[in-house]
Chain A
Amino acid sequence: MSENWVLTETEAVELLALLISSARIQLDEPAHYAPLRLLTATERLSALMLERASDKSKAFLQDNIERIPEMHMAMSDVETYTDGLDHLCREVAACLLRHSSSEGASA
């Protein structure tokens, strides 16, 4: 297996705890909190992955850790929030391409 393992089993369970708790609390919270919870999980997953990640993802993960808390506080500014999410979508797509092209090269 040429791929990196980036999470331990305990870390994966920690992420599951966060996702499941997020699903539950969302039932009692305003709809616009849903993206906030997904982004919090994204930020925590990025932090867990960072240590063992390859150069193909490192900068992207680091950017998430720095940018996402900033975005949370701008939640009430819909335009800034949307721009921030669009930026992350572009960055994750570029990260996907880096991974898929090296996969193709090694196949």
Chain B
Amino acid sequence: MSEQVLNNIRTRRVVREMTDEAVAREDVESILEAARWAPTGGNLRPIRYVVVEDPQTRRLIRLVAPGMFQKAPVLILICINWAIIEQHRMTLSDRTSLVDVGCAAQTMMLAAHALGLASGPVTSFSKEAIKVILNLPGSYSPEMFICIGHKAEGARRGMRAWKKITWRDLTHWERFEDK
């Protein structure tokens, strides 16, 4: 079991070419349910999800999201609801909620992968345009889309690495030496 979990983490890749095949509603719900179990700073849960399946709305979203290469049948927009942060008297510059976004995003992408679905995160979009297109409540800020769908046959591999790295390259053990 633990090997399966680790393997799911290792083999998930961002997919930027998807088919038109619809995603079953129960799979979308499983992904959202998985996100509910993601960790959240102060257990505040300021994150809200907006699911978009309507083809015309998805089309408009792609037009203001230059970083959305895939035409995915399901878009899950991760928003921060700042009203919740204010209710708890946290400062609006608090970065915890952005970390929450990351935790939710990876949880959803791993859940999708476990269900045999393809996924890809997108932050390269105009937030102001998305607020207008989705008529978001004033306290919501759109932070990241998770595109969900089925991988297209012959889909290209992701962006090539700038440099080959291993986890060791990214890790320092213990205290840094004095200079």
**Residues of chain A whose beta carbon lies under 8 Å from any beta carbon of chain B:** 14, 17-18, 20-22, 24-25, 29, 33, 37, 40-41, 69-70, 72-77
**Minimum Cβ distance to chain A for residue B158 (Å):** 7
B129 contact set on A, CB distance < 8 A: 17, 21
| B160 on the A face (CB < 8 A) | yes
A18 contact set on B, CB distance < 8 A: 63-64, 66
| B55 on the A face (CB < 8 A) | no
Is B64's CB under 8 angstroms from A21's CB? yes
Given contacts A21-B125, A21-B129, contact A41 B66 (CB under 8 A): yes
Given contacts A18-B66, A21-B65, A21-B66, contact A69 B159 (CB under 8 A): no
Is A76's CB under 8 angstroms from B160's CB? yes
How many angstroms from the CA of A25 to the CA of B123 in the assembled complex? 9
How many angstroms from the CA of A41 to the CA of B124 in the assembled complex? 14
Most buried by B among A17, A21, A73, A74: A21
| B161 on the A face (CB < 8 A) | yes
Least CB separation from A16: chain B residue: B63
Given contacts A37-B66, A40-B66, contact A21 B126 (CB under 8 A): yes
| B69 on the A face (CB < 8 A) | yes
How many angstroms from the CA of A72 to the CA of B159 in the assembled complex? 7
**Residues of chain B whose beta carbon lies under 8 Å from any beta carbon of chain A:** 16-17, 63-67, 69, 124-126, 128-129, 156-162
Least CB separation from B65: chain A residue: A21
How many angstroms from the CA of A76 to the CA of B158 in the assembled complex? 11
Is A73's CB under 8 angstroms from B66's CB? no
Is B126's CB under 8 angstroms from A69's CB? no
Least CB separation from A22: chain B residue: B66
How many angstroms from the CA of A75 to the CA of B31 in the assembled complex? 31
Least CB separation from A37: chain B residue: B66
Is A21's CB under 8 angstroms from B160's CB? no
How many angstroms from the CA of A69 to the CA of B156 in the assembled complex? 9
**Minimum Cβ distance to chain B for residue A70 (Å):** 7
Given contacts A17-B63, A69-B69, contact A76 B162 (CB under 8 A): yes
